[in-house]
Amino acid sequence: MQGERIAIHVSDKNWTIEVFLPYTAFPDMVRPGTGVEWFGQVTRHRISDSKQSPDSTREYSRMNYKFGGGSANLADFAPIVFVE
């Protein structure tokens, strides 16, 4: 994909990621107008190799974590607002 930009910040207490995906990356998509709001979820699931790290645990991270449960819980989805 051309034109994408990703910025990551990691601190002692948290991490953040900002992702820019240009409309040109999705040529068959009808472009939403500025201010249109979609809802979505971004998840991260990491499992280390227990043979190499016996004390390793599973890690689950989500963009918006309100009540726990599976990552398909619509109550946990966050707004994604389109801008040009």
pTM: predicted TM-score of the whole model, two decimal places:
0.50
* Rounded to 5°, angle at Cα 29 from 27 and 30: 120
Q: How many helices (H) and strands (E) does the chain have?
A: 0, 6
Q: Do residues 75 and 66 touch, judged by C-beta distance below 8 A? A: yes
Find the helix or strand (DSSP H, E) in which 59 lies.
Answer: strand 59-62
Give pLDDT tens digits for 16-65. 888 888 888 888 988 888 889 988 887 776 666 666 666 666 666 776 66
